[in-house]
Chain A
Amino acid sequence: MRRASLPILLLTLPALGVLPGCFKRSTDAVRPLNPDRVIGEPGLSPGQFSYPRCLTSDGNALWVIDKAARVQKFDPTTGEVLAHFKMPEFENGKPTGITIAPGDRGEQLLYIPDTHYYRVMIYKPPTTLGLPVEPISQFGSYGTGPGQFLFLTDVAVVMNDDNSKVIRLFVSEYGGNDRISIYEPTAPNQYAFVRAFGAFGPSATADKIEFSRPQSMEIDDKRKHLIVTDACNHRVGVFDLDGNLIRWIGSPEATGAAPNQFCYPYGLCLLPDGTAMITEFGNHRVHHINPETGESLGIFGVAGRDKGQLNSPWGVTYLDNRLFVLDSGNHRILGEKLTELLSSALPERTPTRLAIELIPVPPEAP
């Protein structure tokens, strides 16, 4: 096919040259993704997805959980399934979050907020295909009291300075009890509830922290910040590691599809330069922002089902200079080189300041 098209191409190039104006450049405001990696398709076999809803990376591979309650590990280059297992219980519902972080002994562990079973499950990442895996630890129960959960969405892990020990876990939840709970270790991989911050609501003041479905969390190790996508309030929150609010980026009132607005920010990942990529479930796009300044650095992806288009993206992660976007509605992962993504200089990528609710930064603890 390629050989056949070559002469056509060679012979038609001059003709194209004399027909300027027949082709005009796209004037779309948003650059679609141009993925060089597409992983997954609809189905129930390994390597296939049934509406995947959470994505993360362990530095070498991608981890995904879908609505068939399957946890799958993928080679980001070949798309090959390296390991997979099914959650032990899934009749009530499936997890909507997954985190990989070092455990107490420095080994990598899977932290899965088991959304509809009101608990956090901690697994040693398996290397097996399809075999059941036992959690090494779990905590949480149904309820709205301390240490209890409604619908869990994500887990964020804070390590000590030399990355050898977990010093804190943040667990987010929604369902009327929208808050973030803080847990601290009491024994290897055992955690105890310390306190929680936040309640259901749209408040933007520092003394009244409220969330409406805090969906994803990331730790900015350099700045010691906790970054949260407050999905149904259409904003991103920046907190210190004690849960004190530093700033909101965006607001419930300012939701929309403009470059300085969010619509259901679901997925979140931090890039090495400290900027953040956010998937917007409602806008079917990826939003590049600077969480320190609130600047919108770029918008990528358009709604649809074709190549490079997104349909209700839930998650996003960064691995090996590539951005991987979980295109949930299309049952696939799209990967594109970050350098190419960021170098696509469109006028629309001119930094635009988002609506930032400025909150005084609390004084640092002595």
Chain B
Amino acid sequence: MTDTLANIPRTLAALQVGPIQFDSPIWLLLIPILWAAAAWMGRRSLAGLGNVTRWIALAVRFIVIALLAGAAAEPQWRNEAKDVSVTVILDSSQSVPLQSQQTIEQYVEAAKAGNKNKYDRLGIVTVGKDAFVQSLPTPLVAEVERQHVGALDGTNLAAGVRLGMSVAPPDAANRLLIASDGQENVGSVLAAAEAAKAAGIPIDVLLYKYKIEGEVMIDRLITPATARMGENIPLRVVMSATKPARGWLNITLNGEPVDLDPDSEKLGVPVELRAGVPNVFTVPVPARNAEAHEFKATFEPEVVGGRMVGDAIAENNSQMAVTFVSGEGRVLIVSDSPTESEQVVAALTQSKIASRRISPEQFPGSLRELASFDAVVMLNQASYAYSQGQQEAMRQYVHDSGGGLVMVGGPNSFGAGGWIGSPVEDALPVKLDPPQKRQMPRGALALVIHSVEIPEGVYLGKKVCEAAVNALSRLDYIGILESPGLPTWTHPLSVVGDGSAVKRSIQNMNFGDMPDFAPSLEMTLKGLLSVDAGQRHAIIISDGDPQAPSNALLQKFVDARIAISTIGVACHGASDQNTLKSIAEKTNGKFYNVAHDQLATLPQIFIKEAQTVKRSLIWEGPPFSPTITGVAETMRGIAGVPPIKGYVVTADREGLALVTMRGKENDPVAAQWQYGLGRTIAFMSDATTRWTPDWIAWSGFRAFWEQHIRWAMRPSGNANIRVVTQAEGDETIVTAYATDAANERLNFANFQARLAQPDGTAKDVEFRQVGPGRYEARVRSDQSGFYVLSANYRAPGTTEGQTIEGNIQAAITKPFADEYRTLEDNEPLMRQVAALTGGRVIGGDDPVRDDLWSRQSLSMPVALRPIWLALALTAIGLFVMDVGVRRVRIDPALIAAAIRKAFRASEKVAGEQVDALKAARKQAQVKIAKRATGGDEVKSVKFEASKEQMSKPSTILSDAPAPIVTKSEKPAGSKDAPMNKQDAEGMSRLLKAKKRAQDDMKEE
């Protein structure tokens, strides 16, 4: 009995009986109590029934009570899962050799093939710096296939565990299997394991075991953060080796090799490394120009017989560092041609400001390169010429490194140049969307989207649509058309507004297959013609295999002056390209063929094409002189300016932006503001004869540009500040040693500093004075790549009222990921994860014996379904039955006789039934005839038994009281009819019951 009780599973405050679980089992206590009450009450109330009937009635009452109490106890039907789901979290990071990963994949596939329950499920999640689901857990997954796995220079096991938990099917017991070397460097797998433990999901671990015996790595390359022109920059290279090793040390400066040993044929110097101790080598390199000096030190191991000796991982054989060499301030001028910039360059030369002109293709790709300039002047530049990374670097250059940005207009600039919604717009002192009140022609752009058959097609498709939308102004029309079977507007042509509606539509895109271009283009044409727009344009993105449209349809586009630009992505071949090329050529659009390795250019193409409808943002007309509206340092001594013939329409920006010149309808023509650490200027007209022909001969031309550009330039400063950086784990200590012009230590300086990080974000940095003239800041530097620290400083001078101020910069580098520092697996961490969650450490040798889908220590999930209503309704049904049992006598003999009779009747042949029917009809006809002729006595009641019926003995259906009949209806002679034995007993019981009732009434 004790064992039986112990075997009844119980949950907290719940009782499980077989497949039923009672959540409020206390109600079940009512059962014995009510049963006893029912039995006691039934002793009297059921006394009038026969033995069998009484017991049946009592049993029915017991059941009704049990059901009602059971219903009150919140019963739930338990449906317990039978299958196990295993989601494998595959460490695909670069610290795990590819061969080991393939071995694990084969192991998992063999395990699945050998698993006996074919309904068990397998899911795959890959982990690098991020985690991605490769296969959702289903019974059919049998192979490990990888698609997009993201960046692999990090290991984020925690993300893998969380993703594995999120895809765990609720109708199966779940296990996670981490196959990894355990060398995580992003997130905390232990924290994620705690969550798995809480969810009842054990994590098994399968360890990639490895230990690298011979390895050389460059731990650090130490250079001063700043230096002066002409001085030697000392480079200190710190290397370590697990075994004695030999090789060569090479240095490059801004990508060009530095000849460290002019006497030998090799550029590098030979080095011998001792095992287990830091090997430090110092190399002096002279500072060449006033710019950022990027050094890269590389160790080249000795190679014997084609194999590296003493070194296994090549990725950790190099380190980088940057030294900013100070000198005269420099300005970077960007223009499409020298002609566009010659007037501005001449003005700067006259003002003794060093400058360098480049074309957009030469524009620096990183913040570090940009940071060596004090200001950047962009003349009539369109946004599509700059990658998203370059645009973000420009914004950071101003906001976080204190650089200056001067954007000068032209037909390809500002809103007309597609800069709306770009990171650079954030830095500008004007809004690139035209003002709401401004009446101007709108643009209308229709995007025709066909499925792009590449793994990241959906992601890219959405990105390019967003890029196009961002490039439009809020007054323009945008429409997105897809063809999931039939062409439909995913976003009907409507005004962009704040872009939220169209961006929601973009998220709902299906990227359906398109059989035929024609219906989509017909709908596009109809849509574009239906809106009131000055410029209309259509863009198709496709792999090119839908059926080509007819020439007649394309001619309709030509007639409507609507160009169709086509973008072929992953075109299947020449035929696909020809279709798209033909559409573009016939409608005066452009065709772009984007190969797999050029996908990053897609947003730029869309922005460029979207720009087609942005010509409406340009104002051109009779020359007029803009009104000078603001008093600013940039306009010092300038009372008026010559006329201009054109500018790009922009709008005022709220906040501290200062508009210094205004044009038609109060449009800003020149504006400026402080943005973060830096300053930006926007001049919406141009610097050529196109829009400002009279300015070149204007006497104030040089002063105008010199004052504007000098205002924007990063201040050079009048203090001597030397910056040293020192890495300490994931942190870097930045120390600034400051002296004034008299070489006295500079105290009480305030620093406003920002650190631009490799991932494009930036954060504030706090400097504290830790000694005389010495300031220190700690920054977290756990990402690999370049960090640029920029600080504006301000300190009191030696004389009253004097202020010492300026700007300093420093770079922190972390060229390779921690992924390449690990020389050994992290088995203890993996074991800890398994132990924490109740998982197992899998050997990985025998997939069948390891039994990845083991039920051991798994609690199978249970789906609960409330059944109280069913119990309650059943109780009600039985209650009705209870009444029936007491009121209706069931005579088994009579039932049996009725069944026999029914059987006999069914055996009658059809002919007999017809004969019987005929006979019955004849008999009825005879009776009617008799009645009509008065041959029979007329009945006084509706029914009167025939003589035959009267002569038959009556059949007793039950021992229940006889039916009540009136005296007049009582058959003659019934009073005197002798009672049989059963009747006598029934009558006797009735009399007894009547007497008992009378006694009870008397007692009451």
The residues of A with any CB-CB pair to B shorter than 8 Å are 1, 3-4, 7-8, 11-12, 41, 43-48, 51, 67, 92-93, 116, 118, 142, 150-151, 174-176, 178, 200, 212-213, 231-232, 263-264, 266, 281-284, 303, 311-312, 328-329
Please measure, in the bound complex, the distance between the C-alpha atom of A47 and the C-alpha atom of B121, giving whole angstroms.
14
Instruction: Please provide the 7 A-B residue pairs with the shortest distance between their CB atoms, ordered closest to farther.
Output: A4-B77, A93-B572, A11-B873, A47-B140, A116-B572, A232-B516, A282-B485
Q: Are the C-beta atoms of A264 and B575 separated by less than 8 Å?
A: no
Given A1-B77, A312-B485, do A46 and B515 touch, yes or no (CB 8 Å)? no
Q: Are the C-beta atoms of B867 and A4 separated by less than 8 Å?
A: yes
**In the complex, B145 has a CB within 8 A of chain A:** yes
Q: Which residue of A lies closest to B144 (CB)?
A: A45
Please measure, in the bound complex, the distance between the C-alpha atom of A195 and the C-alpha atom of B59, giving whole angstroms.
88
Q: 16 A-B contacts, Cβ less than 8 Å apart? A: A4-B870, A7-B873, A44-B145, A45-B141, A45-B142, A142-B573, A142-B574, A151-B545, A175-B575, A178-B547, A212-B516, A213-B547, A266-B515, A281-B485, A282-B486, A329-B484
Please measure, in the bound complex, the distance between the C-alpha atom of A7 and the C-alpha atom of B515, giving whole angstroms.
52
**In the complex, B877 has a CB within 8 A of chain A:** yes
Residues of B within 8 A of A281 (CB): 485, 513, 515
| Chain A nearest CB, measured from B117 CB (Å) | 15
**A7-B873, A43-B136 given. 14 additional CB < 8 A pairs?**
A7-B871, A7-B874, A8-B873, A12-B873, A45-B135, A48-B138, A48-B140, A93-B453, A116-B545, A176-B578, A212-B516, A232-B547, A264-B515, A283-B485
**In the complex, B42 has a CB within 8 A of chain A:** no
Please measure, in the bound complex, the distance between the C-alpha atom of A58 and the C-alpha atom of B833, giving whole angstroms.
52
Please measure, in the bound complex, the distance between the C-alpha atom of A67 and the C-alpha atom of B455, giving whole angstroms.
11
Residues of A within 8 A of B77 (CB): 1, 3-4
Residues of A within 8 A of B512 (CB): 312, 329
Contact indicator per residue, chain B 115-142, by CB within 8 Å of chain A (1) or not (0):
0000000000000000000011010111
Contact indicator per residue, chain B 475-486, by CB within 8 Å of chain A (1) or not (0):
000000000111
**In the complex, B518 has a CB within 8 A of chain A:** yes
Given A46-B143, A264-B485, A264-B516, do A175 and B870 touch, yes or no (CB 8 Å)? no
Q: Are the C-beta atoms of A48 and B573 separated by less than 8 Å?
A: no
Residues of B within 8 A of A12 (CB): 873
Q: Which residue of B lies closest to A94 (CB)?
A: B453
Q: Are the C-beta atoms of A176 and B579 separated by less than 8 Å?
A: yes
**In the complex, B869 has a CB within 8 A of chain A:** yes
**In the complex, B548 has a CB within 8 A of chain A:** yes
Q: Are the C-beta atoms of A176 and B515 separated by less than 8 Å?
A: no
Q: Which residue of A lies closest to B573 (CB)?
A: A92
Q: Which residue of A lies closest to B596 (CB)?
A: A91
**In the complex, B79 has a CB within 8 A of chain A:** yes
Residues of B within 8 A of A303 (CB): 485
Q: Which residue of A lies closest to B487 (CB)?
A: A282
Q: Are the C-beta atoms of B547 and A174 separated by less than 8 Å?
A: yes
Residues of A within 8 A of B142 (CB): 45-47
Residues of B within 8 A of A116 (CB): 545, 572-573
- Most chain B CB within 10 A, of A1, A43, A142, A176, is at A43
**In the complex, B655 has a CB within 8 A of chain A:** no
| Chain B nearest CB, measured from A209 CB (Å) | 17
Q: Are the C-beta atoms of B572 and A213 separated by less than 8 Å?
A: no
Residues of B within 8 A of A266 (CB): 515
Please measure, in the bound complex, the distance between the C-alpha atom of A266 and the C-alpha atom of B514, giving whole angstroms.
12
Please measure, in the bound complex, the distance between the C-alpha atom of A11 and the C-alpha atom of B868, giving whole angstroms.
13
Contact residues, B561-611 vs A (CB, 8 A): 572-576, 578-579
Q: Is the interface of A mostly helix, strand, loop or mixed?
A: loop
Q: Which residue of A lies closest to B874 (CB)?
A: A7
**In the complex, B927 has a CB within 8 A of chain A:** no
**In the complex, B865 has a CB within 8 A of chain A:** yes
**In the complex, B19 has a CB within 8 A of chain A:** yes
| Chain B nearest CB, measured from A28 CB (Å) | 18
Q: Are the C-beta atoms of B515 and A213 separated by less than 8 Å?
A: yes
Please measure, in the bound complex, the distance between the C-alpha atom of A46 and the C-alpha atom of B548, giving whole angstroms.
35
| Chain A nearest CB, measured from B863 CB (Å) | 8
Residues of B within 8 A of A8 (CB): 867, 869-870, 873
Given A93-B545, A175-B545, do A213 and B516 touch, yes or no (CB 8 Å)? yes
Q: Are the C-beta atoms of A176 and B548 separated by less than 8 Å?
A: yes
Contact indicator per residue, chain B 41-59, by CB within 8 Å of chain A (1) or not (0):
0000000000000000000
Q: Which residue of B lies closest to A312 (CB)?
A: B485
- Most chain A CB within 10 A, of B135, B140, B576, B579, is at B140
Please measure, in the bound complex, the distance between the C-alpha atom of A188 and the C-alpha atom of B237, giving whole angstroms.
73
| Chain A nearest CB, measured from B593 CB (Å) | 14
Q: Which residue of A lies closest to B513 (CB)?
A: A312
Please measure, in the bound complex, the distance between the C-alpha atom of A350 and the C-alpha atom of B863, giving whole angstroms.
46
Contact residues, B897-948 vs A (CB, 8 A): none
Q: Are the C-beta atoms of B484 and A312 separated by less than 8 Å?
A: yes
| Chain B nearest CB, measured from A270 CB (Å) | 23
Q: Are the C-beta atoms of B19 and A3 separated by less than 8 Å?
A: yes
Q: Which residue of A lies closest to B118 (CB)?
A: A80
Please measure, in the bound complex, the distance between the C-alpha atom of A107 and the C-alpha atom of B86, giving whole angstroms.
43
Given A1-B77, A281-B485, do A175 and B548 touch, yes or no (CB 8 Å)? yes
- Most chain B CB within 10 A, of A44, A263, A311, is at A44
Q: Are the C-beta atoms of A176 and B516 separated by less than 8 Å?
A: no
Given A43-B135, A44-B145, A264-B515, do A212 and B873 touch, yes or no (CB 8 Å)? no
| Chain B nearest CB, measured from A67 CB (Å) | 7
Q: Are the C-beta atoms of A45 and B140 separated by less than 8 Å?
A: yes
Q: Are the C-beta atoms of A151 and B575 separated by less than 8 Å?
A: yes
| Chain B nearest CB, measured from A154 CB (Å) | 14
Residues of B within 8 A of A151 (CB): 545, 575
Given A176-B575, A281-B485, A329-B484, do A43 and B873 touch, yes or no (CB 8 Å)? no
Q: Which residue of B lies closest to A7 (CB)?
A: B870
Residues of A within 8 A of B140 (CB): 41, 43, 45-48
Residues of B within 8 A of A118 (CB): 573
Contact indicator per residue, chain B 506-540, by CB within 8 Å of chain A (1) or not (0):
00000011011010000000000000000000000
Residues of A within 8 A of B19 (CB): 3
- Most chain A CB within 10 A, of B545, B574, B579, is at B545
Contact indicator per residue, chain B 136-164, by CB within 8 Å of chain A (1) or not (0):
10101111010000000000000000000
Residues of A within 8 A of B485 (CB): 263-264, 281-284, 303, 312
Residues of A within 8 A of B138 (CB): 41, 43, 48
Contact residues, B861-883 vs A (CB, 8 A): 863, 865, 867, 869-871, 873-874, 877
Please measure, in the bound complex, the distance between the C-alpha atom of A202 and the C-alpha atom of B127, giving whole angstroms.
53
- Most chain B CB within 10 A, of A4, A8, A51, A174, is at A4
Q: Are the C-beta atoms of A11 and B870 separated by less than 8 Å?
A: yes
Please measure, in the bound complex, the distance between the C-alpha atom of A43 and the C-alpha atom of B135, giving whole angstroms.
7
Please measure, in the bound complex, the distance between the C-alpha atom of A41 and the C-alpha atom of B572, giving whole angstroms.
26
Residues of B within 8 A of A45 (CB): 135, 140-143, 145
Residues of B within 8 A of A328 (CB): 513
| Chain B nearest CB, measured from A248 CB (Å) | 18
Residues of A within 8 A of B869 (CB): 8
Please measure, in the bound complex, the distance between the C-alpha atom of A23 and the C-alpha atom of B873, giving whole angstroms.
22
Residues of A within 8 A of B575 (CB): 142, 150-151, 175-176
Q: Which residue of B lies closest to A8 (CB)?
A: B870
Q: Which residue of A lies closest to B512 (CB)?
A: A312
Q: Which residue of B lies closest to A177 (CB)?
A: B575
Residues of B within 8 A of A46 (CB): 140, 142-143
Please measure, in the bound complex, the distance between the C-alpha atom of A194 and the C-alpha atom of B398, giving whole angstroms.
71
Contact residues, B5-29 vs A (CB, 8 A): 19
Residues of B within 8 A of A51 (CB): 513
Residues of A within 8 A of B870 (CB): 4, 7-8, 11
Given A232-B515, A312-B485, do A11 and B877 touch, yes or no (CB 8 Å)? yes
Residues of B within 8 A of A93 (CB): 453, 543, 545, 572-573
Residues of A within 8 A of B576 (CB): 175
Q: Which residue of A lies closest to B76 (CB)?
A: A4
Residues of B within 8 A of A311 (CB): 484
| Chain A nearest CB, measured from B906 CB (Å) | 27
Q: Are the C-beta atoms of A263 and B484 separated by less than 8 Å?
A: no
Residues of A within 8 A of B877 (CB): 11
